[in-house]
Amino acid sequence: MYKGYKKIFLTLSGINSGSNYINKGLSDWYDTEDKNMNNDDQRFEDMSLDSKTLDALNEIDFEKPTDVQKESIAPAVEGNDMIVQARTGSGKTHSFLIPIFEKMNGDDGVEAIVLTPTRELAQQVEKEAGKIGEHHDIETLAIYGGASIDYQINHLPRTSFVAGTPGRVMDLMRRGELKLDDIDFFVLDEADRMLEMGFLEDIKWIMSRTPGEKQIMLYSATMPKEIVKLANQYMEEPVELKLSEDEISAKGVEQYYISVGRKNKLSVLSSLLDNEPGKYLIFCNTRKYTRILSDRLRNHGYKAHSMHGDMGQSARTKTMNKFKSSEIDILVSTDVASRGIDVDNITHVVNYDIPKYEKDYVHRIGRTGRLGKEGKAVTLVSRDEMEFLDRIEDFVESELDLHDIEEGGRVEHEVDYEHHSDLFGMVNFRFSIDDDSPSRWDIEKKLENHGIKHDEAEVNNLQENGGEIKIVKSKAEKIPKMDYFDDVELIEREARRE
């Protein structure tokens, strides 16, 4: 049955909904002198939070709430079901953790569960929950596959807060070890990604085994119709906050592309790393190449490591901890392995391989420019991949700028004739020659002497002392080596195809 919404449409710059902001069921909490939710000077201590919560926030150096925290904490504390659309890195984790710990009492049994799409995100949520729970004397636990199920079973009896992935949650529920009969809080974190990863039926299975009276909070970067349908089915007059667009514009991230062939990708990446130092998250499309690229980077002296689906959980956790602590400052990852990466100080996202799907591009670059910090996304694009770049630009409704990166990295740049060939596989050179009237026949004869057949080259624009030659890319390297020419210049193609 359709259930009504209390819609509060917001943007990151302020409230757009006017009189729709305060709705039936919300308390006069908003009407205090501190209700200026968009005041940059607002602090957590102005939000009437429990002293234990404030102590925890002070300990982790949280003083001022982010926009999503300003808008969502109060209605959540009031007990409203919540639908919050906010981009990755906006501070949404604490926007649901704070209200939960404000109201939990730490009685026997699980009181709150947060479902996440990945084990890394479950770990991250539990880690942040533990920092607050410690001050409230409330035990927290992360449950996910790839870790000891016996450890999780042994700790569940004294745990009040659980963050977990659907698969392991269902496993423990079937075993009778995890009971959600008396939970008060049910959170779906990164709901759109859970949908993309095929967890919708699992979510419904888990939800159907929880009590009808509970507070449901749903957080998502985008709001697909399946998510809206799920909210309609289970939530009771939720407060809906829209603090981002459907994450297609990737606001706050400078977006560039570099036109480069595969032969020089590593050289261009090296130049970027050396010219623009920072913390890099680099994406490859395959698990195999994440390993290859990270090995090559380490061979050139960079502090790099890979993360992919073939790694065990302990190895992935160890790698993430090194990345967070800056023991390594370059992480090479696949799309699947990156889900759940929650590192606030990533300065650059590099698409070493251009993603084939537009949404993957947005999810990737959303890992930088978080919590109001500046970020840069750079995509390496070969000529035969321009169609993918065009699709991405249509999706984000913006044209990416061509990034001029200075050479001078640790990896030598090579001439890439494949990259400079035209649609017919021909490479164009301009040459000069010590001959007032060079004939086409003479030039073609010289080319033939160097193993270049008549149908593999085309002489054009002959003038006094020079002209142009188009040659198949497989023979292009022969031209600069011919003593017959005084000077040879590669005519580089423009970055974009017409």
348-351 and 280-283 beta bridge pairing? parallel
For residue 127, give the 3-state DSSP assignment.
Answer: helix
Element (H, E) at 130: helix 119-136
How many angstroms separate the CA atoms of 355 and 361, rounded? 6
Domains 6-242 and 426-490 share a fold: no
Neighbours of 447 (CB within 10 A): 22
Sheet holding 253-259, edge to edge: 304-307, 330-333, 280-283, 348-351, 375-381, 253-259, 401-402
Element (H, E) at 202: helix 200-207
Element (H, E) at 331: strand 330-333
pLDDT for residue 498? 40
User: Amino acid identity of 19?
Assistant: S
Nearest-10 crossing angle of helices 200-207, 166-174 = 40
Neighbours of 420 (CB within 10 A): 19
Q: Which of these, 97, 99, 154, 98, lies nearest to 126 by C-alpha position?
A: 97
Distances (CA, A) of 281 to 3, 32, 212, 284, 369: 41, 43, 42, 10, 12
Q: Which of these, 280, 278, 320, lies nearest to 127 by C-alpha position?
A: 320
pLDDT for residue 250? 58
Q: Which of these, 295, 385, 381, 299, lies nearest to 332 by C-alpha position?
A: 295
How many angstroms separate the CA atoms of 495 and 480, rounded? 23
Q: Which CATH architecture has domain 426-490?
A: 2-Layer Sandwich (3.30)
Instruction: Enumerate residues 6+ apart whose C-beta is below 8 A from 229.
Output: none
User: Amino acid identity of 30?
Assistant: Y
pLDDT for residue 370? 66
**What token pair was written down for 375?**
């970020």
How many angstroms separate the CA atoms of 321 and 143, rounded? 18
How many angstroms separate the CA atoms of 428 and 420, rounded? 8
pLDDT for residue 296? 95
Which residue ranges make up each domain of the chain? 6-242, 253-402, 426-490
Q: Which of these, 432, 433, 434, 453, lies nearest to 444 by C-alpha position?
A: 453
Distances (CA, A) of 278 to 132, 315, 332, 344: 30, 24, 14, 13
How many angstroms separate the CA atoms of 143 and 332, rounded? 26
**What token pair was written down for 477?**
């390297």
The correct CATH number of 253-402 out of 3.40.30.10, 3.20.20.20, 3.40.50.300, 3.90.1150.10 is 3.40.50.300
Q: Beta partners for 377?
A: 255, 349
pLDDT for residue 35? 37
Instruction: Enumerate residues 6+ apart whose C-beta is below 8 A from 129.
Output: 97, 100, 101, 114, 140, 161, 163
Q: What is the distance, to the nearest Å, from the Cα of residue 214 to the centroid of all Cα atoms in its chain?
A: 32
pLDDT for residue 98? 96
Contact 56, 132 (CB under 8 A): yes
Residue 251: φ, ψ to 5°: -65, 145
Burial class (CB in 10 A: 0-12, 13-18, 19+), 387: exposed
- The reply to whether the predicted model has a pTM over 0.95 is no
DSSP state of 225: H
pLDDT for residue 81? 93
How many angstroms separate the first and last alpha carbons of the chain?
A: 53
Helices (H), 347-425: 358-365, 386-396
Burial class (CB in 10 A: 0-12, 13-18, 19+), 85: buried
DSSP state of 344: T
Per-position pLDDT tens, the chain of length 498: 223 333 333 333 233 333 232 232 333 323 323 333 344 577 898 888 999 999 999 998 888 888 889 889 999 999 999 999 887 667 889 999 999 999 998 877 899 999 999 888 899 899 999 999 999 999 999 999 988 999 999 999 999 999 999 999 999 999 999 999 999 999 999 888 888 888 999 999 999 999 989 999 999 887 888 888 888 888 888 998 887 654 444 567 899 999 998 889 999 999 999 999 999 999 999 889 999 999 999 999 999 999 887 777 778 888 888 888 888 999 999 886 666 566 778 899 999 999 988 878 888 888 887 656 778 999 999 888 888 899 888 888 888 988 888 777 899 888 888 888 887 889 999 898 877 677 888 888 889 888 888 888 888 888 878 888 999 988 988 998 888 888 888 888 776 544
Residue 335: φ, ψ to 5°: -60, -45
Angular region, 411: left φ>0, alpha ψ -120 to 50, beta rest? beta
How many angstroms separate the CA atoms of 306 and 332, rounded? 5
The correct CATH number of 6-242 out of 3.30.9.10, 3.30.70.3040, 3.40.50.300, 3.90.1150.10 is 3.40.50.300
Q: How many residues does the chain have?
A: 498
